[in-house]
Structure 1
Amino acid sequence: MPTPRPRMTGEERRRRIAVRHHLAPEARAGTVEQVAGALTALHGTDPATVHLAAGARLAGAAGDPVAAMERAPYEDRTLVRMHAMRHTLFVVPTALAPVVQSSTTDAVAARERATLIKQLKAGSSLDEAWLADVEKSALAALERRGESTAAELAQDEPRLREQFLYGPGTRYEQPQTVATRLLRLLGTEGKVVRGRPLGSWTSSRFRWAIAPALPALAPAEAQAALVRRWLASYGPATEADLAWWSGWKVTDVRKALSAVEAVETDLDEGATGYVLPGDTGPAGEPAPWAAFLPALDPTPMGWQQRDWYLDPGHRAELFDRSGNIGPTVWWNGRIIGGWAQRPDGEPVWRLLTDPGSEAVKAVKAEASRLHARLAGTRVTPRFRTPLERSLSA
């Protein structure tokens, strides 16, 4: 008689994220590097997300998450900001950067380069040879300067100011400078890296620097390594979850799951989930917990299929039209509401369900912890959602 597949209930999955994502108070991390490693990667698209995501998961004795998150990528070099899965900016542990680059980003970069050359030819008299010459000159200038903004580089290489039509014939059509697209492409290819922000930790302006060379890995080897890391963070998860998160083809997802000998499990919704070998046992039972997570936090963005932690009826309030989640309020592994800031910076929230008096008390305590952490800084998410807009008004 065949051995029955292990079952992973929604309750078990919620216990796992409480502990593995450092969300329950007794499971909070001691360093920002621990947080990034536990989540595989932190979303870096919205500059404030990495700081707020880390702060929500750090123990009180860990110190200032903003200062720690400024040190890690720019002084200690223990984290790196890079284009990665789904062509999204992430902050990943430095040791994981070669895995991400070889498993995912190299393929994205090849497509990006082909697209840029096609658009240059279609919208101007510029071509591939011209771009290669500008690229060589810009990299040499950046090497001389050490760190530089795009505007500063254009002083050394004026051709970076040339314009072309981006996205012709689409709703994204607009003129762009060569600098904007080329530096982003070079970042995706791992040739340059984003430096320290210009201004505060919420700033979207930054300098560029020459990136340290990353060892090249065989794509299949790198994909298996990334899946092993990701399942440790997010398993059990479905093929669809992994394909969505990684941006890979389903065939690549299946090969990587096979390579790590992922174990099939039954999920509550009737789907097949996957975990690492030896990872089918129950998680510990954490004490009740609440959390205020930022827009684009890795936990709610970790899965495509979210019904086990999100009421489908609340999606319209919490997501924008492109599928980006806004700031959320959590209770024991479920999203129960959203939050924003008043003009004076004080957090304000709205619960979309009645979680009971114990939860409300815990939510208020977490709001106070967030208020202290923000220290008067006003954060407006780049991707705004209906509930966040309503609350901030």
Structure 2
Amino acid sequence: MTTVDAVPLARAHAQLLAGPRAGGVAEVVRQVVALQAQDIRANRLGVRARSAGLTASDVDAACASGAVVRTWAMRGTLHMLAAEDVAWIVGLLGPRFAAAGRSRRLQLGLDDEVTARGVTALESILAGRSLPRGEIVAGLADHGVVLDPKSQAPAHLLAFAALTGVLCRGADRGDEPTYALFSDWVGPFETLQEEEASARLASRYLAAYAPATAEDFAAWSGLTLRQARAGFAAADHFEPPIVDEFSVRLLGHFDTYLLGYRSRELAVPAEYDRRIQAGGGFIMPAVLVNGRVVGTWRQDRKKGELQVRVEPFGGLPGGLDAALLTEVEDLGRFLGVPAAFHSAG
């Protein structure tokens, strides 16, 4: 196996996207440190691709129990983390992104005084319970903090409160998120000194993303390059295992495997990169073979059946049909619907 082929496969193996799959939701999340969670359905698929035997309802149950927690973390965006990791990771990353969002909050009418009153009101509104955004906005108005529910102001206030350790996501109501006080849902917001936290995060990152560089770590976490390099210097370094196996996985939108590095060049052929990310931060569902993306896929529901269509980059490598069918069938099992496989190649 050539070096250029070995790196993606080693990364996929560390990410549970090759080799043995995990048996539990929290086990998945601990291994990869965090999974993108701005899209609930895609977040569930991130767990499925790395686990065996779980269902979508198992992911929801893990969130409802507090074993895993969705909150704002890496790059200031919504992620799912194991409960025991949330406080120290948010304590490291949150202040940077809370400060970075100030100019946008000002544009939305959330100056420092209004933001502070809003956070104080949230501590009262959410005490002992989880509420969806609409009920929170109504409660804020009752406390004299009036926000336009159609604007981005409520979302930015909630994100600020999460990044400063006041709240996090609670149990979803179907696909509708709720929010709870961090102290109620997770426990005390106990943080670490920056040096210890950055070294710990770098160690965890390397265990799940190596081979990788400090620049990759900075891009994934959102830390400054100075912080990332300092964390790398103090981190436990791992020698990626040499693996030689065959693995096919269907990744959902925003999969962390495609957001975990400064560049996707080792995973996605350059000429097809815009098929994976056409613009902004929207990452398409991808067909992963031995750590390399060979196409995209989409799903439609028709007459009670999940129809999965693969759209390859050029032609698919030979011998993939059986492995793809297995993945599609597992996707249907995970979602609780019959599934059929179609290829455009």
Range into which the TM-score falls when normalised by the shorter chain: 0.7 to 0.9
Q: Residues 346, 189 of structure 1: CA spacing in aligned structure 2 closer, same or farther, 3 A cutoff?
A: same
Structure 2 counterpart of 1:51: 44
Q: Quick one: which amino acid aligns to residue 106 of structure 2?
A: K
Larger radius of gyration: 1
Residue 242 (structure 1) shift: 1.5
Contact 2:92–2:191 under 8 Å retained in 1: no
Q: Take 2:111 and 2:317, find their aligned partners in 1: how far apart are those partners?
A: 63
Query: Which residue of 124, 135, 139 maps to 2:119?
Result: 135
Q: Residues 161, 151 of structure 1: CA spacing in aligned structure 2 closer, same or farther, 3 A cutoff?
A: farther
Contact 2:36–2:43 under 8 Å retained in 1: yes
Whether 1:161 and 2:155 are equivalent positions in the alignment is no
Q: Residues 110, 291 of structure 1: CA spacing in aligned structure 2 closer, same or farther, 3 A cutoff?
A: same
SS at match of 1:27: coil
Q: Take 2:49 and 2:13, find their aligned partners in 1: how far apart are those partners?
A: 13
State the identity %. Answer: 24
Query: Which residue of 40, 59, 84 maps to 1:69?
Result: 59
> What TM-score do you get using the length of structure 2 for normalisation?
0.86
Q: Residues 137, 236 of structure 1: CA spacing in aligned structure 2 closer, same or farther, 3 A cutoff?
A: same
Residue 195 (structure 1) shift: 1.5
SS at match of 2:294: strand
Residue 130 (structure 1) shift: 4.2
Residue 299 (structure 1) shift: 1.3
Residue 351 (structure 1) shift: 1.3
Q: Residues 135, 98 of structure 1: CA spacing in aligned structure 2 closer, same or farther, 3 A cutoff?
A: closer
Q: Quick one: which amino acid aligns to residue 239 of structure 1?
A: A
Residue 375 (structure 1) shift: 2.9
Q: Take 1:310 and 1:208, find their aligned partners in 2: how far apart are those partners?
A: 36
Whether 1:150 and 2:133 are equivalent positions in the alignment is yes
Query: Which residue of 244, 256, 276 maps to 1:285?
Result: 244
Cα deviation code 1:156-194 (max 9, x no counterpart) = 432343349xxxxxxxxxx72643332221122120111
Whether 1:337 and 2:331 are equivalent positions in the alignment is no
Contact 2:118–2:157 under 8 Å retained in 1: no
Q: Quick one: which amino acid aligns to residue 134 of structure 2?
A: A
Whether 1:361 and 2:339 are equivalent positions in the alignment is no
Aligned pairs for 1:319-338 (under 5 A) are 319-338=277-296
Residue 210 (structure 1) shift: 1.0
SS at match of 2:293: strand
Whether 1:105 and 2:94 are equivalent positions in the alignment is yes
SS at match of 1:30: coil
**Alignment length (residue pairs):** 330
Structure 2 counterpart of 1:216: 191
SS at match of 2:320: helix
Residue 234 (structure 1) shift: 0.6
Gaps of 5+ in 1: 1-7, 165-174, 262-275, 379-390
Structure 2 counterpart of 1:264: none
Residue 93 (structure 1) shift: 1.2
Q: Residues 137, 21 of structure 1: CA spacing in aligned structure 2 closer, same or farther, 3 A cutoff?
A: closer
SS at match of 1:340: strand
Residue 321 (structure 1) shift: 0.5
Q: Residues 98, 9 of structure 1: CA spacing in aligned structure 2 closer, same or farther, 3 A cutoff?
A: farther
Whether 1:300 and 2:271 are equivalent positions in the alignment is no
Gaps of 5+ in 2: none
Query: Which residue of 186, 195, 216 maps to 1:241?
Result: 216
Cα deviation code 1:318-345 (max 9, x no counterpart) = 2131143210011122110110013423
Q: Residues 290, 115 of structure 1: CA spacing in aligned structure 2 closer, same or farther, 3 A cutoff?
A: same
Structure 2 counterpart of 1:255: 230
Q: Take 1:377 and 1:59, find their aligned partners in 2: how far apart are those partners?
A: 18
Contact 1:161–1:178 under 8 Å retained in 2: no
Structure 1 counterpart of 2:32: 39
Q: Take 2:44 and 2:172, find their aligned partners in 1: how far apart are those partners?
A: 13
Query: Which residue of 6, 16, 20 maps to 1:12?
Result: 6
